[in-house]
Amino acid sequence: EDELAAEGSDELSARAAVVTVMGHVDHGKTRLLDSIRSAKVTEGEAGGITQHIGAYQVHVEHEGVERGLTFIDTPGHEAFTAMRARGAKVTDIAVLVVAADDGVMPQTIEALNHAKAANVPVVVAVNKMDKEGASPDKVRGQLAEYGLVPEEYGGDTMFVNVSALKHLHIDELLEAVLLTADAALELTANPNKAARGVAIEANLDKGRGAVATVLVQSGTLRVGDNMVAGTAHGRVRAMFDEHGETVKEALPSRPVQVLGLSSVPRAGDTFLSTSDDRTARQIAEKREAVERNAQLAKRRKRISLEDFDQAVADGKIDTLNLILKGDVSGAVEALEDALLKIDVGADVQLRVIHRGVGAITQNDVNLATVDNAVIIGFNVRPAERVNDLAEREGVDMRFYSVIYAAIDDIEAALKGMLKPEYEEASLGTAEVREVFRSSKFGSIAGSIVRSGIMRRNAKARLVRDGNVVADNLTIESLKRFKDDATEVREGFECGIGLGSFNDIREGDSIETWEMREIPRS
């Protein structure tokens, strides 16, 4: 495969940028994709009929030059993340759609985090400008807080106010996409070699067999070529573009629907064309074997809180990536705030790569897979199939209902000493003989130590007639006559104060205990 890739890498030509549209549900991703498609794809087409093939290319006049842009026609970042999880880099640039009447919403941020994690530049389409209550400035202000500072505020993110419904400022948006792409990227590929690229979507058609839309990323794909896509192989029998027209060849950044594969590849599978049928089949078989092994190897490679210190010691890792999910945004924020306050020292770093409200999703697991992250769930659980996926991919998921417990575990992992296990160990018991009320100290239990010791600052519980009246108390004051004592042993009298706990009675017994580390075997 690598030999095939290396061939003729010096003849680079310009190619179209590949764009993914992301954003919160109902903010207008689908409508925007429709609007761009109908404004551009059908220009000059008789009847203006377009086919949905999972991606389309438009042509935009920019500074007197005709330029292409390829849009991935499946809105939302699920497809995007799924592809990344399979190792495919498809998107050059992301359009983040935000409805101007609704503003920034959870999935807006989620989408933004995905784009950031993939290092993909973002253009913001402030949509629904035709609506009453549209507040584009608010959207700018909100996103600036997340690091997308609008150009007009001195930042480097382009924001364009649009209406997908009324087709307003779509050209300006496309222009902004081109400008951003040009500023950030080198958009070239070599068309003069065997084709390579990625499968974007695929399905099994009753009449036509496996139908796959592929995006050519380099080289040229031609009818009659032999190809491998994922673990599927075959000979390109026919190709169609987004108008449903047959095409003979596809250059870099061109999406085409391909017929002729032996089976259905998955979104994100890479493809390549080969000189002959035998090579294609061999590569497909090899990929199948590699995939099986990778599945096993992958599981061992993923980071977990337990392994983090070892991985650091081995020099394999220095950043603990976390994905935080919680039932309410306040909890997620509190958790993140507390995490960011952990003093991690100079050698390691903590990075929250994604946070969100709601159940743990497949998407979260995919992201954890890509960025080798641990998922922290606060009062949320994953659906069963999400659990299966995490299991398969070896992603460490942790569930907590107390923020401190989460912080403790993560802090321990970062400091290379994952929390040892503790057990309760009894220190001693004392019998209460008399209770004094002091206005300053509250109740003081005049007691005699019956067994073991009483120790200042030790944990205590109060037992009355065999029942625990209160637990998890602390011996806040301990006195022998008038002097403070740190410990009082069996047979001696002492005065015990349990802090603000005052319901102590004659005849009660006070048991003290501490948590002791269980030695690890």
Q: Is 130 assigned a ligand-binding role in the annotation?
A: yes
Type of residue found at 116: K
Least Cα distance to 263 among 293, 295, 298, 288 occurs for 288
Mind spelling out the 3-state secondary structure of 107-123?
HHHHHHHHHHHCCCCEE
Q: Is 25 assigned a ligand-binding role in the annotation?
A: yes
Q: Least distance (Å) from ligand GDP to the CB of residue 172?
A: 14
Residue 122 to residue 425: CA distance in whole angstroms: 57
From residue 446 to residue 465, what is the string marking binding to ligand GDP with x (rule CB under 6 A)?
--------------------
CA atoms within 13 A on the CB side of 204: 5
In sequence order, what DSSP letters do the residues of 154-216 get, joined into one string? Answer: TSSB-EEE-BTTTTBSHHHHHHHHHHHHHHH---EE--SSB-EEEEEEEEEETTTEEEEEEEE
CA atoms within 13 A on the CB side of 365: 22
Q: Least distance (Å) from ligand GDP to the CB of residue 126?
A: 10
Residues of span 27-66 touching ligand GDP by CB under 6 A: 27-31
Q: Determine the interface stretch with ligand GDP among 11-19, 139-147, 158-166, 428-436 (rule: CB under 6 A).
A: 158-166
Q: Does 128 bind ligand GDP (CB under 6 A)?
A: yes
Whichever of 231 and 361 has its CB closer to ligand GDP, that residue is 361
Whichever of 169 and 287 has its CB closer to ligand GDP, that residue is 169
Query: How many residues form the binding site for ligand GDP (CB under 6 A)?
Result: 16
Residue 492 to residue 454: CA distance in whole angstroms: 10
C-beta of residue 505 within 8 angstroms of C-beta of residue 463: no
Q: Least distance (Å) from ligand GDP to the CB of residue 130?
A: 5
Q: Least distance (Å) from ligand GDP to the CB of residue 101?
A: 8
Q: Is 75 assigned a ligand-binding role in the annotation?
A: yes
Q: Is 243 assigned a ligand-binding role in the annotation?
A: no
Indicate which single residue of 164, 178, 229, 445 sits in contact with ligand GDP (rule: CB under 6 A). 164
Q: Least distance (Å) from ligand GDP to the CB of residue 29?
A: 3
Least Cα distance to 251 among 14, 10, 3 occurs for 14
From residue 121, how far is each of 20, 92, 244, 357 by CA, in Å? 11, 7, 31, 25
C-beta of residue 55 within 8 angstroms of C-beta of residue 72: yes
Whichever of 27 and 86 has its CB closer to ligand GDP, that residue is 27
Residue 235, number of CB atoms within 10 A of its CB: 17
Indicate which single residue of 70, 163, 362, 447 sits in contact with ligand GDP (rule: CB under 6 A). 163
Residue 220 to residue 223: CA distance in whole angstroms: 10
Q: Determine the interface stretch with ligand GDP among 163-171, 182-190, 235-243, 507-515 (rule: CB under 6 A).
A: 163-171
Whichever of 170 and 353 has its CB closer to ligand GDP, that residue is 170
Indicate which single residue of 75, 326, 382, 497 sits in contact with ligand GDP (rule: CB under 6 A). 75
Q: Is 101 assigned a ligand-binding role in the annotation?
A: no
Whichever of 23 and 394 has its CB closer to ligand GDP, that residue is 23
Q: Determine the interface stretch with ligand GDP among 122-130, 306-314, 443-451, 510-518 (rule: CB under 6 A).
A: 122-130
C-beta of residue 239 within 8 angstroms of C-beta of residue 256: yes
Q: Least distance (Å) from ligand GDP to the CB of residue 34?
A: 7
Indicate which single residue of 82, 165, 338, 350 sits in contact with ligand GDP (rule: CB under 6 A). 165
From residue 129 to residue 148, what is the string marking binding to ligand GDP with x (rule CB under 6 A)?
-xx-----------------
Q: Determine the interface stretch with ligand GDP among 162-170, 307-315, 409-417, 425-433 (rule: CB under 6 A).
A: 162-170
Find tokens 């994690």 and name the residue: 117
Q: Least distance (Å) from ligand GDP to the CB of residue 375?
A: 26
From residue 415 to residue 434, what is the string marking binding to ligand GDP with x (rule CB under 6 A)?
--------------------
Residues of span 480-519 touching ligand GDP by CB under 6 A: none
Q: Is 50 assigned a ligand-binding role in the annotation?
A: no
Find tokens 């007009």 and name the residue: 152
Tokens of 162: 């649009």
Indicate which single residue of 74, 113, 127, 274 sits in contact with ligand GDP (rule: CB under 6 A). 127
Residue 334, number of CB atoms within 10 A of its CB: 14
Whichever of 134 and 283 has its CB closer to ligand GDP, that residue is 134
From residue 10 to residue 29, what is the string marking binding to ligand GDP with x (rule CB under 6 A)?
-------------x-xxxxx
Q: Least distance (Å) from ligand GDP to the CB of residue 95?
A: 11
C-beta of residue 198 within 8 angstroms of C-beta of residue 270: yes
Find tokens 């993923």 and name the residue: 302
Q: Least distance (Å) from ligand GDP to the CB of residue 166?
A: 6
Tokens of 467: 């029942």
Whichever of 15 and 24 has its CB closer to ligand GDP, that residue is 24
The DSSP call for residue 277 is H
Q: Is 74 assigned a ligand-binding role in the annotation?
A: yes
Nearest-5° Cα angle at 140, 139 to 142: 65
Q: Is 512 assigned a ligand-binding role in the annotation?
A: no
The DSSP call for residue 46 is S
In sequence order, what DSSP letters do the residues of 413-432 get, joined into one string? Answer: HHTT-----EEEEEEEEEEE
Least Cα distance to 19 among 277, 266, 207, 255 occurs for 255
Q: Is 298 assigned a ligand-binding role in the annotation?
A: no
Whichever of 102 and 269 has its CB closer to ligand GDP, that residue is 102
Would you list which residues are annotated within the binding site?
Answer: 23-30, 73-77, 127-130
Q: Which chain residues interact with ligand GDP by CB under 6 A? A: 23, 25-31, 75, 127-128, 130-131, 163-165
Would you list which residues are annotated within the binding site for GTP?
Answer: 23-30, 73-77, 127-130
